[in-house]
Structure 1
Amino acid sequence: MININGQLLENEQAHLTVTNRGFAYGDSVFETIRVINGKIVFWEDHYFRLMASMRIMRMEIPSNFSPEFLEQEILKIVERNQLSDKTARVKLSVYRNEGGFYTPETREVGYVIAATPMKTPFYVLSEDFYEIELFKDHYVTSGLLSTIKSNNRAINVLGSIYAKENDYQNCLLINEKKNVVEALNGNLFLIKGQSIKTPPLAEGALNGIIRKQVLEILKKSEDYKIEEDSISPFELQKADELFITNVAVGIQPVHKYRKKEFQVKVAKEIIGKLNAKARLA
């Protein structure tokens, strides 16, 4: 079932019109959320990022869009899909209401919430071989719009097609300055010796939920120097370790980039701590 503006509808009855602005213009933002046994993981971070995204997109935030209201709307669809005692992947989308062309007639919004099952309740490091490459056909533009999760994901779609055509598991995106920004589906961390770097939001990196959690974990460690700094493509082959973070998988180790193969050390050290944060969130 799907939750559309508070109405729970069977999948075949849940329809948006062809003039929906999220479809017509990408005038929509979304959150991908993990729910474990009826508990929303890192809900506060998701909620505040959603509110920030709506403000950046100049959407009018409804007065009833409190954390409590949206939490109940999410849990309502999780329960109706019989996922309350399981692990669910929830997508909460907020779109501007219909009307107008590029210039909208209203700033009021609607929402859609869908829930699907996930296999594992907590994060597990995959041992499957994972090779990446740079996607250089198009660039991420550094700036505020690139930090939010909107329906404008053309570069991610094209990069994913490129990865599939060339048997890569993922690709890294670069910005107009030719710096590495992120992966197709998450944030990037680079380890060299005792130094750990991740691209800053100012470079166009997504303001990732797991990125934030991993940074908090790493900053408490005295073993590493943490930097939010630009990463050039030349640094990738000099790194000891690379990993990608997102809400769906948590931490994804990278095993190979071009001729360089990487160790999996820091990812193993922090995966348990990430799960502990998820349990307490």
Structure 2
Amino acid sequence: MSPAGHRTAPMTVLAVGDVVGSDAAGWLADRLPRLREEHEADFVVVNAENCAVTGPIPMDGFGMTVEVIDRLLDAGVDAITGGNHSWDGPDVDDVLAYPQVVRPVNLDETRGRGLITLTRGDRTLTVINLLSPTAALPGMKAPQPEPLWPSWTALAAAEDLPGAILIDLHGESPWEKASLAAALDGQVSALVGTHTHDPTLRGHLLPAGTAYVAELGMTGPLGFTGGGFDPAHFAARLRGEDHTALPPYELATGPMSLGAVRVDIGADGSATAIDRIT
């Protein structure tokens, strides 16, 4: 499956979906050592673009802060991926400067990096972040992403992508995510979807060895509709109302939920299993 010379020792990767709020980040950080041991995870990849809610919403209040990112890294997270909120929040320049933070690669941006290669012993994992145009909404600070397939082909031609390859595709459409996974079957070890926060139950092992799940899901409080915060603003926008007149977004209450999968990858870079963790 992997290109010649890009083999790696077998590994297990724990991929965690959108962390919503600093309390959720702390909750995950407290449990991560046990989760890592229980699932014998060699690498942990976490989407944390919503891990800090810091100010006025709709746009500036999401994002990442140095304090919360430090908490996740100190707990053992190996790579932090993002999406359309990677450019929000007060600490954006400092956060994107972290070598462990990966922002979407398919856009014109000089800050940060769009991929990272992780090594532990004889195991090597390359993590790539892609942003779908479906997730780059008007008014957001995220640069407009380039189309997915041309971006991938250009990246694969220009970059050395060693070891197993995991892609976090941040986007709205499950069909788009499934289409890219099918197009990349046998070229990458895993493609996991993020952004919509509502987890899809099934993971898939595609014929040529790529593991795929449409949506990792949200890691955070389960109240309201399960997205981690009050959906009143979204409902108002759907009705054509001025959602900016509403009070700021509120984080949900209720029990915490973990949106995550475990992916087992063989020595040739092919996935051998993908299992949801709850």
Both structures adopt the same fold (TM-score exceeding 0.5):
no
TM-score (norm 2): 0.27
TM-score (norm 1): 0.26
Q: Which has the higher strand share?
A: 1
Greater C-alpha radius of gyration: 1
